[in-house]
Structure 1
Amino acid sequence: MGSYIDANLTRDERIIQQASASWESQWPLFLPGALLIGNGFSEAEGVNFKLFLGGLLICIAALRVLTTELALTNKRVIAKVGFIRRQTVELRLEKIESLMVNQGIFGRMLNYGSVSVTGTGGTKTPIPYISDPASFRMAVNEFLENPSQFD
């Protein structure tokens, strides 16, 4: 599976900063998945269903992490979420109004959260599960203030 971002770079465009989805952000799916699988092995009744359901939860969590991409390039912010149902965001740097980071209590403890990019015209798109979202926001702000330092 190739990178959406690498495949969609334009001529003379280069990646300044990339962010990836956090495995820790998927604990709400990993935990019940592991419990169902563990419980499925210990009980004779309903083993196949519990193993299937536990495996399904873990596969969904893995797909969320593996199919979430976010990058700052020298021309735009690019993001992709999803595999079958794909959501993409490509916002030129001059159109960015703000970047917001949203972290719940577990996100603060495990250092993951959503990055919301707001563009002119009110376009606001959250990119979920991002590892260390504050660092990505800082990189975007630093690049917007002084793009020549990244040449």
Structure 2
Amino acid sequence: MSSYVESSLIKDEQVVYKAYISSWSLSHLLVAGLVLLPFYGIGLLFWASAAIKYFSTELAITNRRIIAKFGFIRRSTIEINLQKVESVQVDQSILGRLLNFGSIVVSGAGSPQTPVLGISNPLKFRQIFMETQENK
């Protein structure tokens, strides 16, 4: 089974960079799961929630657009052409700076701001976006 990003590529479109959810951004769910595991296995629900979020989120930059997909059963997607993106903001907490994760907010012309929470290496995402947009 192919990923959403790969299945939505159009003719002559190539993936330039794929970003992933940081395990550190899911640490609150993992710790809660560990603490609540002795209580009738309730912690397994927290671990399942973290796993679903981790494996069902896709984020990629192609040579034509930014593609983001969230959700396992209910799917939410965002696809913005590179020419329509006005800015990519990076938000990192102190812990995010130390552990290299954060959120990005993509602002496009005619579309609302699109936040993507808890990705690994958000500064690299912004750098590769800027390079790809410049080469377009």
**TM-score clears 0.5:** yes
For residues 19 and 7 of structure 1, the distance between their equivalents in structure 2, rounded to whole angstroms, comes to 17
Match of 1:44 in 2: none
Deviation string, structure 1 residues 38-75 (Cα, Å, up to 9, x no partner): xx1xxxxxx42xx1x10000110111111111111111
Q: Report deviation, 1:86.
A: 2.0
Match of 1:58 in 2: 47
Match of 1:8 in 2: 8
Deviation string, structure 1 residues 73-127 (Cα, Å, up to 9, x no partner): 1110101111123221100011010001111222222211111111002421111
Paired residue type of 1:24: W
Mark the CA change 1:10 to 1:122 in structure 2 (over 3 Å): closer, same or farther: closer
Paired residue type of 1:126: P
Match of 2:75 in 1: 86
Listed as ranges, the matches of 1:1-151 within 5 Å are 2-37=2-37, 40=38, 47-48=39-40, 51=41, 53-147=42-136
SS of 2:74's equivalent in the other structure is coil
Q: Report deviation, 1:27.
A: 0.5
Q: Give the paired residue count.
A: 136
Larger-gyration structure (1/2): 1
For residues 24 and 2 of structure 2, the distance between their equivalents in structure 1, rounded to whole angstroms, comes to 23
TM-score scaled by length of structure 2: 0.93
Q: Which runs of 4+ in 1 moved over 4 A?
A: none
SS of 1:123's equivalent in the other structure is strand
List alignment gaps of at least 5 residues for structure 2. none
Whether the 8 Å CA contact 1:65–1:129 is kept in 2: the answer is no
Indicate the structure with greater helix content.
1
Indicate the structure with greater strand content.
2
Superposition RMSD in Å: 1.3
